[in-house]
Chains A and B, each alone.
Chain A
Amino acid sequence: MAGDAHGNAPATASRSWFRPSLVEGDQDFASVTRRVAGVVERPKPPRAWYIAITISGTLTLVLFSLVAYLIATGVGVWGNNAPAFWGWDIVNFVFWVGIAHAGTLISAILFLLRQHWRTSINRAAEAMTLFAVCCAGLYPAIHVGRIWLAYWLFPVPNQMSMWPNFRSPLLWDVFAVSTYATVSALFWYMGLVPDLATLRDRAVTPLKRFLYGFFALGWRGSSRHWHRFERAYLILAALATPLVLSVHSVVSFDFAVSLVPGWHTTIFPPYFVAGAIFSGFAMVVTIMVPARQLFGLKELVTVRHLENMNKVILATGSLVGLAYLTEFFIAWYGGNAYERFAFLNRALGPYSWAYWLMVFCNVVAPQFFWFKRVRTGLLPMVAVAILVNVGMWLERFVIVVISLTRDYLPTSWGHFTPTLVDVFTFAGTFGLFFTLFLLFCRFLPMVAIAEVKTVLPAAHPHAPQGAAGKEHAHA
């Protein structure tokens, strides 16, 4: 274990080189269980929860109504029209897929990198991933227009004796996003099973005992089971890591394999992945700060966790900045008149407001995280995180809309204006996202109980006796 208390600082050290404890407030196993399970077991959630779910539920209803309206009427209700056949639908799709990257990154990549601080946030972040994928997957599904024919995207034997075109990056997208959703769900559920068993064993009503018990699959914490469980967890993490990279790479292929100026550039795959992680972490910070306040999890999700996430935001934000710089430079260096124009047009054209706002939000705003005070202050960090979310949405807008409305032929140039349906559908996806997240907070353990226990000092043999062995009321 890299995070063990093996540090041995010289006596004169000006600061401690011990790895500080990952949770605060002298926790033992039972208190971790109580703290997390308590959120779910409380007879009534806090008033703020009711207010929040009312708002988000209303927005979700708006979303469903607008989707129904779209299906009944046709995609003409959106602002998409020649030459911008991709508009807010694709912008929002890429935005939500990007958000979906943080969860699996935290659970898989940070796991492989032995970053034990992930244990407090991975459950919520993974849940967020799933909900973001729901929002993302909705867009291509309704964008196809005749949604009842969406099964044409899958290699299903059909009456036309036709098969999908596997050489199209849009089909790769179907496979990448659905694989990602599936594997994330498996990963998330597998991690949940031991915690569901905890809830099962603490349940006081038969209904809860039945439901948690049913989904806990009879987990009983056998060490032989844990052994296979940990191996499976490691394998899933090792699989999910390249999967995370591949999903946004494939999304970037949608653009980069084309000949549209501003879309065809080889750095797109890693640059999209960095941007996705960037936006995903920003979203985790945005929702974890209020969630930990609301549900009393401040000792498990500490400011140090948030600060670490902010460091990741700073790093990926700087990477995105470097990618912008490289793109701009190579657009000039390549000597292609159309590429040069595409980039100048981003900065100086009719959508330059979007471009400069994006640069501010994505490149300038995270630089405030160089200051510890911003990194550790709750309000400043949420402010920066929200700016980053806005910026990453604008990035997709800049890429999709500016290139499409200004391509090779000036005769086919145009302008994209979203309709009210566009705007409210997007707002509705936030409603769906937050509704699912609020339900998750209410009914499932939002911190991985078993995993947090493994990072307590008492979880290791030869740890000081009695740290976690206290009897408690449940015995």
Chain B
Amino acid sequence: MNGVRVAGVGLTHFGSHPERTGRDLFAEAALNARDDAGVPLDDVEQLNVGNFAGSLLEGQGHTAPLLAEAAGLDCPATRYEEACASAGVAVREAVRAVRSGEADVVLAGGMERMTNNDTPETTEALAIAADELFEIRAGVTFPGAYALMATAYAEAFDVDEETLKTDLANVASKNHDNALPNEYAQYQREISVEQALDAPPVAEPLGLFDCCPVTDGASAVVLVSEEYAADHDLSADVAVVGTGQGTDRMALQDREYLARTPAADDAAAMAYDDAGIDAADVDVAEVHDCFTIAEVLAIESLGFYEPGEGLGAARRGETRADGELPVNLSGGLKAKGHPVGATGGSQIAEMTRLLRGDHPNSDEVPDAEVGVTHNAGGTVASAVVHVLEVAE
């Protein structure tokens, strides 16, 4: 099995860019990744691109050849769609392609254009990640689904409403703090716990600041074999050493747990086993905080906390930038933004920058050697976990 190195990463600014087409966003990210990697586009043997709802949000299907052309690539191209985990799956399949020896250079990433629609249309488009018959027709929105998980969590672990809301507000405030220096982040501004608590409700108990924003953006990473990196004298010091994926029942009502995310448990177990690590080895994590409660469920599934104990981690400071295990130093989906189909690739890009030492928040984790990314689809019916390491 060939080792996999991250040769380069590229991002667009995450934010409100309603006039920019998806093809333009992805081209920028891909060219940035090319420049960062120092790998010519002619050497790219495969494009794996994540995109969730371009068919609805941009009236554009058959995304892969369009984005290959936009990025100047002439190679087999495939779109991966696994809701908000689309780019995570695209990266995972790129890792597998390089490992198998099928390709030495794969460009993976994703794109979503969202703010060209108004909020109700976007809400409706995002809701298709839920079960159409049993959830959408029962009025379940995406925030609503996570709100259901939040109330089930409070019930399962005997948490009162005030504690639940305050601890979740601490997650939001933490991630906004982390986004402050990140030039790619949608919200480079602080919010206080009080501001988060006072925000208007979206789906109770979740308020506006418990929810990630609607975001336009793209991500790209160039993954190469160790042999290619050595032969071309690349500076590629971060390796992808573990990949895992899990699946759960689509609708919340059909799950064993309403307040846990077993698909992410499975993805983490698979990725850790693949990498030969356990949760205690992880120095830094980027997790899928589409809603504040999602970060809590993520850090429990990743094994950093027992079920029911992750809720207060941000309030206690443990997952803050200066804490024991910083989570979402990029700002997370909450403050960096969540262009749905790009997010899984963005997490790999941000973790690579953090481990290489060229992320504005790298100084918070100067000795970090092992980083984990957690990318989830829907209400975590899909989950993808990757383990990145600073190579010897």
The answer to whether A binds B is no
A interface vs B, CB < 8 Å?
Answer: none
